[in-house]
Amino acid sequence: MKTAARVFLGALAVLVVGAAASWFSLDKETRGLLRALPTNRDVLFWTQAQRDAAFRAMDRIPVLARWHTIAPGATPRPLPPGPPLALGLDVDAFMAGQHSAALLIVQGGRLRLERYGLGFGADGRWTSFSVAKSFTSTLAGAALRDGSIRSLDDKISRYIPEMEGSAYDDVSVRQLLTMTSGVRWTEDYGDPDSDVARFNNHKPEPGVDALVSYMRTLPREAPPGARWHYSTGETNLVGILVSRATGKPLAQYLQEKVWQPAGMERPATWLLSRTGQEISGCCLQAAPRDFARFGQFILEGARVNGQPIVPDDWLANATTKQADIGRPGSGYGYQWWTRDDGSFGARGIFGQGIFIDPRRQLVIVFNADWPSAQDAQAAAARESFFRAAQQAVDAETAPPRQ
């Protein structure tokens, strides 16, 4: 999540002078961001106004980033409107409290709520942060079904030979997906000495991917599979592994496996690291309706023309608890946050999310700019919104009282 911000902001100081050619293609808020460049290199320390402008423009500020584009297909999947869902709460107040850019509910395949804020709209692209992890997971499943990944029990050094001799040498693809490698990693969004910060100052050996170069220096902290520990670095390794196994950039593989066959409506973009690899733990930019289409695609079994793009048992495993995260009723699957009630979701800092409840045929998409990367009050309010949506669906399907 933070990894992306540090990677692309590092080029700011030397490239600002060359930005004039693209200046007039930027919207007013984005121009405002360029007039008030942050003095640090981390999105976590941008002002709220800077984030409001930048989260919708990560891929339209040339001084900040490079990216790959994911093209949509010729025929978008319809999202037909349905009757408004009776949520029993003040949606305007909820969105204001979330500092929300977009809020969508798809239920039973119909769009039952679609609201926007912060001057954002349906045609824009908002950044995902760690919501991208669940896209990366799905691509790993596709590579497994295609035979590019032989087995989840393979050691990752089979696909990334540079990891041989490191603490990751004995880690399996499955353990990487569930973040149970046992390798030390600190993911502290406010600590400049955390691994995400140190990684971005790491100088890789010539010809070695920057992330691989850094990750292979990390020490072992626990036996593989012994404990869960959240690590964006490991999702970035999953992305490298999938790209190596398939021989394709992640953006291209996503376009082939999901974006076009699932009927996405608008182009998406994926930011690149300084060594040209998609930052697979972060930084996929897409339109809110296409985030909703992805949720619906997963809800329906990740199928194209009736055939799943992932192994038959993939989603059952990916979206149920594979690792205990120490929180009753919750767990972690293959890059999905899971709940014991059968629902699951993708989450990113500053309030991004895709919430999926198969039993109620419910998909909820959130794009926001919380006041901080992790906000307990905003997170609790969002949980309450989940429950209100579930209760609203239940009320519709409850038998009439006699």
Of 40, 31, 52, nearest to 13 by C-alpha is: 40
**Residue with more model confidence, 28 or 94:** 94
Q: Which pLDDT does position 312 carry in this prediction?
A: 97
Distance CA(277)–CA(385), nearest Å, equals: 36
Is the per-residue pLDDT at 52 higher than 50? Answer: yes
Q: Which pLDDT does position 18 carry in this prediction?
A: 33
The structure tokens 């995400």 sit at 196
Of 221, 226, 111, nearest to 175 by C-alpha is: 226
Model confidence at 22, pLDDT cuts 50, 70, 90, reads very low
Percent of the chain predicted with pLDDT > 70: 86
Distance CA(382)–CA(94), nearest Å, equals: 8
Q: Which pLDDT does position 207 carry in this prediction?
A: 80
Question: Which residues in 327-365 are b (16+ Cβ under 10 Å) and which e?
Answer: eeeebbbbbbbbbeeebbbbbbbbbbbbbbbbebbbbbb
Q: Which of 48-52, 317-321, 353-357 has the lowest mean pLDDT?
A: 48-52
Identify any residues that bridge with 212 across adjacent strands, giving them in sequence order: none
pLDDT tens readout for residues 359-379 = 999 999 999 999 999 999 999
**Cα angle: 127, vertex 47, 57; to 5 degrees:** 30
Q: Which of 33-47, 288-302, 340-354 has the lowest mean pLDDT?
A: 33-47
Distance CA(305)–CA(391), nearest Å, equals: 32
| DSSP helix/strand/coil, 111 | strand
**Residue with more model confidence, 301 or 9:** 301
Distance CA(123)–CA(116), nearest Å, equals: 11
Distance CA(334)–CA(367), nearest Å, equals: 22
pLDDT tens readout for residues 308-349 = 999 999 999 999 999 999 999 999 999 999 999 999 999 999
How many CB atoms are located within 10 Å of the residue 255 CB? 23
CA dihedral 294, 297, 298, 304 (to 10 degrees): -130
Q: Which pLDDT does position 3 carry in this prediction?
A: 43
Is the per-residue pLDDT at 87 higher than 70? Answer: yes
Q: Which pLDDT does position 43 carry in this prediction?
A: 74
Q: Which pLDDT does position 201 carry in this prediction?
A: 65
Provide the token pair at 297. 């695609």
Q: At what angle do helices 2-9 and 232-246 cross, to 10 degrees?
A: 80
Domains in the chain, start-ordered, CATH in brackets?
A: 1-65 (no CATH), 75-132+250-402 (3.40.710.10), 149-246 (1.20.58.710)
